[in-house]
Structure 1
């Protein structure tokens, strides 16, 4: 196993996941509302999408990547609409939901929603392709690409693990009124991200 590629992938995956965007907001809100398991599962959805796009870039699946990049405007519009929906739903949700137990179908919904949202940014493929080329992976073997993609998934997962467990530490300090404001602020931020995605997609059509 090429430890160098594995470590580079871990650093890359951690760095890509770390900036707080709509996925980070969702992970933080779900951790505060339902605990670290819900937050971590949400992050794993994003990590899976990162690994998927890393595979496309690493294995040179030109046909798939070209299609996704060419259709990225429509995909961004769909993602923007979904962000709008999630933002409004969270904004209107009641703090009583905080004490509700997290069921398996709820965890699947947390995973699938962040997986979908992360996949609505096909331009990520171009970022991975540029980085992989700089690291010499595109000129190497498929085994090197596999190791790097595994590293990306591990690094991304480490960030979401760190974030969900860190947020869970302060979770019990929030009052019911505090959770009301968390829902409202999170909802407004997600609606804002949705508006930006929609605006960028529609004006580019």
Structure 2
């Protein structure tokens, strides 16, 4: 009976993580842009960084860590402002991006900055502390949770499954596009990131 309960708790966490990650927002656009410009590993690293941040917020909500929750909520405005300017920077960089002139440059762009991609997406996701309130409301609706770590593990793997799927599809489609088409798609994604940044900064 206990094993069945824990299993269902993990599955609920997995479904929750997948459904939270699936709506296309700034992180989704960023992962698409990075997959096209840096390859599958760069896009996936960004997604896993975001999944880690969501899991941290989820763990704080599930364990009732009021001190950590209060800290993030008290710093909500500075965090959102910082995240907005960072989105603005990423969008502008994508708009101004240029195609690689040589095969060596192309390979280099696909293999460098994997750690940086993950860390930047992690902190960008943390810049929205209201996520903690969303997790708190969802976990409250689930009733008493006897294994919050297992639930949050499900959330992380569910989110990771979405990013793996999204980046895999974009990577396959990107291989069919010409360098010129990929460049304009990256620039278009940069415009969308700038629009997200403006909405964050002036909300």
TM-score, normalization by structure 1: 0.91
User: Where does structure 1 differ by over 4 angstroms across 4 or more consecutive aligned residues?
Assistant: none
Counterpart for residue 46 of structure 2: 42
Counterpart for residue 62 of structure 1: 66
Counterpart for residue 122 of structure 2: 115
Question: Of 137, 140, 145, which residue of structure 2 is paired with 1:140?
Answer: 145
How many residue pairs get matched? 195
SS for the counterpart of 2:57 is helix
Unaligned runs of 5+ in 2: none
Counterpart for residue 203 of structure 1: none
Counterpart for residue 135 of structure 2: 128
SS for the counterpart of 1:118 is helix
Q: Which stretch has the larger CA shift, 155-164 or 93-102? A: 93-102
Question: Of 169, 172, 176, which residue of structure 2 is paired with 1:173?
Answer: 176
Question: Of 107, 111, 116, which residue of structure 2 is paired with 1:103?
Answer: 111
1:144-155 paired onto structure 2 within 5 Å: 144-155=147-158
For residue 46 of structure 1, report the CA deviation from its aligned partner.
0.5
Q: Is the 2:38–2:111 Cα contact (8 Å) retained in structure 1? A: no
Question: Of 8, 13, 16, which residue of structure 1 is paired with 2:12?
Answer: 8
For residue 179 of structure 1, report the CA deviation from its aligned partner.
2.1
C-alpha distance in structure 1 between counterparts of 2:10 and 2:127, whole Å: 26
Q: Is the 2:47–2:160 Cα contact (8 Å) retained in structure 1? A: yes
Unaligned runs of 5+ in 1: 201-205
C-alpha distance in structure 2 between counterparts of 1:156 and 1:129, whole Å: 17
Q: Is the 1:92–1:183 Cα contact (8 Å) retained in structure 2? A: no
Cα RMSD, aligned residues only: 1.4
TM-score, normalization by structure 2: 0.92
For residue 171 of structure 1, report the CA deviation from its aligned partner.
1.2
